[in-house]
Structure 1
Amino acid sequence: MKLPAATRPIVIAHRGASGYRPEHSRAAYDLAIDLGVDAVEPDIVATADGVLVLRHENEISGTTDVAHRPEFAGRRTTKVIDGQKLTGWFTEDFTWLELKSLRVRERLPKLRSRSFDGEEGILRLGDLIDLLDERGGVGMVAEIKHAAYFESIGLPLDELVAAELSSAGWENDPRVTVECFETRVLGQLRDRGIAAQYVFLLEAAGAPADEVAAHGRAAKPYSAYLTDAGLAGIAASGIDGISVDKRLLLAADASGQVTGTTDLVERAHAAGLLVFCWTLRAENIFLPKNLRRGGGPREFGEWRDEFQLIMRSGLDGVFADQPDLAIEARAGL
């Protein structure tokens, strides 16, 4: 997405307006658009029959009612996904016909309202594209989840995503950004003719799953990409930007008090990369210690102070669960 400087940083609704509605529900996306966001962010996983659906993870017990559906009790299983052992219900073990019968629910019930639980079903990527075409103008930052894993079980997400975008006429749409914690799938999509903006998601620890799959313990860690040489290498590979945990942008002292921002945005920009960060959230539990206020973990703290501190670093976009608050903070800069 290329927007004028006056609108930067762009505000991206994280899984829709997920601070107010169950994530990835139609209601969350509709509300995000109503609130005036620049883009929405879907997470993309696949079903057994190759349908792309919007879920934060392929394990869905925390975001749907599948655990309470006796007809699917036998689907509960344990898998290793990107090196993590997980037990639950997984999208790739269901057909779309089966998944569409489930109802979505709040992922963080101890922090956020469950009053909208059970009202809607799971969305497909195609459903979101149709909604964005209907509403007009809003971009999409699509995150591909667990690409190496899905490829290993015969569900290549590069092929499936490219086919979905092309069939919808979005293969050359300037509203499209694609991001992933793995770089291989980004190159595969580009090679398939998807003229999107490509963003590499980075964490402070660990290594990309595609690197681990290819090189095992010799895999290049995320930290190596955050050096000046690493950033230059990302740019040289044809990737347009990086997206990082906000903690990589916040400087803090030993007690956890935020004191300012790091130089990561400046260094990434010097390498020719765009910079995005995740995730801006207003609740106390997600804020630095010195920006929390009374009332418990679910109450809103001094979110404006954190949001504006991050925005003043000069980055290009932010992901927010409460996108209206991010828009408000941006307007007050």
Structure 2
Amino acid sequence: MNPDTPVAPCRRATARRRLACLLLAGCSVTHGLPALAAGPSAADGAKAHAAPSHHRPRAPRDGLIVIAHRGASGYRPEHTLEAYRLAIRQGADFIEPDLVATRDGVLIARHENEISGTTDVARHPEFADRRTTKRVDGQLVTGWFTEDFTLAEIRRLRARERIPGIRPDNARFDGLYTIPTFAEILRLAARESRGHRRIGVYPETKHPTYFAREGRRLDGSPIGISLGQALVETLVEEGFTDPRRVFIQSFEFENLIELHEAIMPAAGVDLPLVQLYDDLDTAVPYDLAYNVAQGRDLATVYGELGSKVEGGLQAGTPYGAFATPAVLGWMKANYASGVGPWKGNLLPRAPLAPPVDGDGDGEAEVVSRSTARVHPMLGDALAQGLLVHPYTLRAEEGYLAQAPNGNVATALAEAVQLYGLGVNGFFIDQPDVGVAARDIFREINRPLIEGR
């Protein structure tokens, strides 16, 4: 997913005390919603960055969820069992694995199928000759690719922090953790589910068109693996098919339609599907570009979707063309339970010059400001009855924005705002911050709920 760790200074307090801290920090409240401009300052948040909390959550009866983006990836290298385990202990409701496939067809959790940035593969001389250049989703990528390794070979690798320049503390865990399979993640979620709390999983199929149709292994043979088919088969094999505990997401449309129309019915399961959106203005769904280039019958692939898109389906049709009420309504009626838009589209930002120092460390790293606008897609999706789960909240200074009042809003304030705008959940790298935000939002709205 596209490109928040500090916890509010009152992290260990009750929800009511957290709310008091938020207000004392300068938060304005309008109609029960803390403004994005408010909340603890970035400097306050940074003081509480050191140690993640171990939250004892209650089940989310109001439907508001916290999704651990690749696990507690603000605290541990992403897509490791340790990152997922910490996310669960911090109170996340769902853990999110990005799924790619090995040469022998096993699903593993990696951000991409190219693994030089997330594993120590470059330190294994026995794999030096597997470094190559491939075209993935139209882009040339050089490195080592999961489809060229068996699971047994992947087991010899260890995870590394993907962005050590931003998260240097995570780099101390480099080399400690193995690369988990999807099945292992499901077993972890099952083991950690206790009492009324049931941990869910939110897998994403990464590059499904590449794996199924376009991609080739190092020896030139086609990969030919359906990530959707393998995903559902693994869920069934592990007995993890409760629709209240699974969301399946993808940036591609064909992949989700195929899951709804063929793969899930054949397996006897019915799980909610979430359509992800890349940047609305510049990005194009890769499956659409590929299918147009291959001359495939788009009506056979997408059904009546094309009739809902202004101008029809073209190779360059951007994600924004699929964010209209007509398309959102069709998706809801035909395959999707929710949408996952990029947070930068829902809450547009503008460049900030010069940058400002938000956390008081002497380095000016806040380079954007809030425009105080909300994209109409949010209201349109909610009006169609779709769940809305935006991505990704991150707490590090470089991911934050200056609010209209001049303060730098923390991820905590941004998360409270998103709940107030009606989202049902969000992806966040620091799950404890998301849980704290939900506690605050519930406390703010308690008088309104109890007064009904």
TM-score, normalised by the number of residues in structure 2: 0.68
Structure 1 residues 189 and 238: CA distance shift in structure 2, 3 A:
closer
Tell me, in whole angstroms, the C-alpha distance in 2 between the residues paired with 1:111 and 1:254: 20
More displaced stretch, 156-165 vs 246-255:
246-255
Tell me, in whole angstroms, the C-alpha distance in 2 between the residues paired with 1:49 and 1:15: 23
Quote the offset at 1:7 in angstroms: 4.9
**Paired position in structure 2 for 1:297:** none
1:331 to 421, 433, 439: 439
Tell me, in whole angstroms, the C-alpha distance in 1 between the residues paired with 2:338 and 2:192: 27
Greater strand fraction, Structure 1 or Structure 2: 1
**Paired position in structure 1 for 2:429:** 321
Tell me, in whole angstroms, the C-alpha distance in 2 between the residues paired with 1:163 and 1:252: 41
**Paired position in structure 1 for 2:115:** 60
More displaced stretch, 69-78 vs 253-262:
253-262
CA RMSD of aligned residues (A): 2.1
2:375 to 262, 269, 272: 262
2:235 to 165, 176, 193: 165
Structure 2: unaligned runs, 5 residues or longer: 1-58, 214-222, 294-313, 353-367, 442-452
Tell me, in whole angstroms, the C-alpha distance in 1 between the residues paired with 2:436 and 2:233: 37
Match runs of 1:23-172 below 5 Å:
23-112=78-167, 113=169, 114-136=171-193, 137-152=198-213, 153-172=223-242
1:215 to 253, 269, 292: 292
Tell me, in whole angstroms, the C-alpha distance in 1 between the residues paired with 2:172 and 2:249: 31
8 A Cα contact 2:70 2:429, kept in partner? yes
Tell me, in whole angstroms, the C-alpha distance in 2 between the residues paired with 1:222 and 1:5: 32
Q: Percent identity over the alignment?
A: 42
Which one-letter code corresponds to 2:202 in the other structure?
A: V
**Paired position in structure 2 for 1:6:** 62
Which one-letter code corresponds to 2:257 in the other structure?
A: G
8 A Cα contact 2:403 2:409, kept in partner? no
Deviations 1:239-262 (A, max 9, x none): 111001101111445754212433
Tell me, in whole angstroms, the C-alpha distance in 2 between the residues paired with 1:309 and 1:173: 28
More displaced stretch, 99-108 vs 302-311:
302-311
TM-score, normalised by the number of residues in structure 1: 0.92
8 A Cα contact 1:261 1:309, kept in partner? no
Deviations 1:263-283 (A, max 9, x none): 322110112211111101001
Aligned positions, number = 325
Tell me, in whole angstroms, the C-alpha distance in 2 between the residues paired with 1:172 and 1:7: 16
**Paired position in structure 2 for 1:279:** 392
Tell me, in whole angstroms, the C-alpha distance in 2 between the residues paired with 1:162 and 1:252: 38
Structure 1 residues 310 and 260: CA distance shift in structure 2, 3 A:
farther
Is 1:228 aligned to residue 325 of structure 2? yes
Deviations 1:141-165 (A, max 9, x none): 1111000000013111122112111
SS in 2 for 1:127: helix
SS in 2 for 1:176: coil
Higher relative contact order (CA 8 A, sep 6+): 2
Structure 1 residues 328 and 220: CA distance shift in structure 2, 3 A:
same
8 A Cα contact 1:22 1:107, kept in partner? yes
Tell me, in whole angstroms, the C-alpha distance in 1 between the residues paired with 2:206 and 2:376: 28
Tell me, in whole angstroms, the C-alpha distance in 1 between the residues paired with 2:391 and 2:239: 29
1:241 to 314, 329, 338: 338
Larger Rg: 2
1:306 to 411, 414, 429: 414
8 A Cα contact 1:44 1:143, kept in partner? yes
Tell me, in whole angstroms, the C-alpha distance in 2 between the residues paired with 1:278 and 1:73: 35
8 A Cα contact 1:75 1:89, kept in partner? yes
Tell me, in whole angstroms, the C-alpha distance in 2 between the residues paired with 1:281 and 1:254: 18
Which one-letter code corresponds to 1:232 in the other structure?
A: G
Tell me, in whole angstroms, the C-alpha distance in 1 between the residues paired with 2:125 and 2:401: 42
8 A Cα contact 2:332 2:385, kept in partner? yes
